[in-house]
Structure 1
């Protein structure tokens, strides 16, 4: 299972760029960029930062799971 995020879709209306999002999340811009590009997995710091940046959203609004062998980013059924 892989953890995927909706943070970048949600940030479009809330934050003007990745630098601002990273600042609010308390992590580096490079980490945010690498997660967005799929070059880095989502870790605990990213999850905590996302909760800080989007306090009105539930955890399952921010993140979802996909099968590791899946070629698409479709969330698994709940």
Structure 2
């Protein structure tokens, strides 16, 4: 028996979703590095766990997770002032 049309379409959709998650994760990692943040620093800035950031960068998290992309963008555009006394 061959693969049904529906199974074939479902597999293509799953593959494209996987690619989208992986591309998003790579982009997050690239932008974090360009901003000069370690993973620990970035986790503190955007208030997520280290494990969550690892899953994002490995493409295991759906970028459509509510507020995820917005939170990451804000974290990458924040500027912090260091005040010394």
TM-score band by shorter chain is 0.5 to 0.7
Between Structure 1 and Structure 2, the one with more strand by share is: 1
Which of 63, 69, 79 is the equivalent residue of 1:47? 69
Higher relative contact order (Cα pairs below 8 Å, separated by 6+ residues): 1
Asked whether 1:36 is paired with 2:61, we answer no
- Provide TM-score, normalisation by structure 1: 0.54
- Cα distance in 1 between the residues matched to 2:77 and 2:38: 18
Q: What root-mean-square deviation, in Å, do the aligned CA atoms of Structure 1 and Structure 2 show? A: 2.3
Task: State the TM-score, normalized to the length of structure 2.
Answer: 0.50
Instruction: Give the number of equivalent residue pairs.
Output: 56
Q: Say which structure is richer in helix.
A: 2
Taking a change above 3 Å as real, the CA distance of residues 39 and 17 of structure 1, as seen in their structure-2 partners, is: same
- What stretches of structure 2 of length at least 5 have no aligned partner? 1-16, 79-85
Q: Where does the alignment leave 5 or more consecutive residues of structure 1 unmatched?
A: 57-78
